[in-house]
Amino acid sequence: MSAARITRVGATKDQLGESPVWDERGQRLYWIDALAGLIRGLDPVTGAIEQFSVPAPIGSIALRDDGGAIVALRNRFAHYDFGLRALTEGPSIGLDHPKVRLNDGKADPYGCFLAGTMHGDRAPNETALGGLYRLDPTGALELLETDLAVSNGPCFSPDGRTFYLADSARRIIWAYDYKRDGPLENKRVFVDTEAQQSGCDGATIDSEGYVWSVLVRIGKIARFAPDGTIARIIDMPIGHPTSVTFGGPGLDILFMTSISRSHALRDDHPDAGGLFAIEGLGVRGLPAHRFGPG
């Protein structure tokens, strides 16, 4: 097994770094500071980092096929133009609740954007409000799943037929059969991480169909085989990693975001909140899906 080399990239310090996505066309990495209302863009060749301000909190982003990004804001979607630094609001999820906001999201293989909600400070037996939403490039919005306490880590198998989604509060990653139209089907437990004493946060897929997921409360990244068994664990130098994506010219660098201070977690390590690059893993990722009809 290849030895991982972990390095901090740049000097940014996010409160709640999330949603990294590699732009294969522009050879850039984008990610967010969810609580600061920032989208950051890194040119790995020069080390230059741009930042773009949007209304906080941000749940997640995905790249648009025609340029810019689709953004999950607190309770609605929006389009962001990096060149114009302009935000155009899109449809609302129709739920305005002080404890519920949109969280992690990904584009699917068909050009849609899926994003789920998190419902904070719930009573023990209270049903979580919100759910998992799918935004079509035409602007049509549908609710695919309900009762998600903290939705995280959406990602797709290489053939697009399996959809993975974590509920971090329940420490479960679910798997579903997925298709472009119609409901999610055949819901089943893919991974239960109670034994690891952490829920899973952000996730991505490698070219072999293994799921790379962050164990946010114990400072580790796990690689899960397609049957849900743990194939590898990587210890991180900071306490609370948040999300991962493969990038670089060969899609063989795993980029990881992290927390310095979120609503629930705090890390006083000097590198907490930093962006990290993990090299030497011996695996490659897949190009990110994009939002749009292309």
Is there a contact between 212 and 244 (Cβ–Cβ < 8 Å)? yes
Q: What is the CA radius of gyration of the chain?
A: 17
Rounded Cα–Cα distance for residues 256 and 268 (Å) = 18
In sequence order, the β-bridge partners of residue 61 are 71
Question: Which residues carry out catalysis?
Answer: 201
Q: Which residue has the tokens 């732009």?
A: 23
